[in-house]
Amino acid sequence: MKKRNRISWLVPAMLSFATSIIAFISANVNRSLVLIVSGLLFLAGGIRSVCRYIKEKKQQDEE
């Protein structure tokens, strides 16, 4: 994987993570259970994306 591809993959992952935090905060302010649950799922997806990026980066560095 080229360096440019790794960076371009990281940007959407970080944006997803940041957006999930904002969605979760908004859900808590509105006190909507459905929004809170979906915000938590969105947050888990953002964390998973960042963890996947870190794992792939470590594998690339080892090779």
> For residues 58 and 39, what is the distance between their CA atoms, to the nearest angstrom?
29
> For residues 29 and 48, what is the distance between their CA atoms, to the nearest angstrom?
25
Does residue 10 form part of some domain? yes
Does residue 63 form part of some domain? no
Grade residue 51 by pLDDT with cuts at 50, 70 and 90: confident
Does residue 34 form part of some domain? yes
Number of domains in the chain: 1
Mean pLDDT, residues 37-54 taken together = 78
Task: Say what the pLDDT of residue 20 is.
Answer: 75
Residue range of the domain that includes 22: 3-58
For residue 46, count other CB atoms closer than 10 A to its CB: 21
What is the pTM (predicted TM-score) of this model?
A: 0.55
CA proximity to 15, closest of 52, 51, 50 = 50
Does residue 13 form part of some domain? yes
Task: Say what the pLDDT of residue 23 is.
Answer: 77
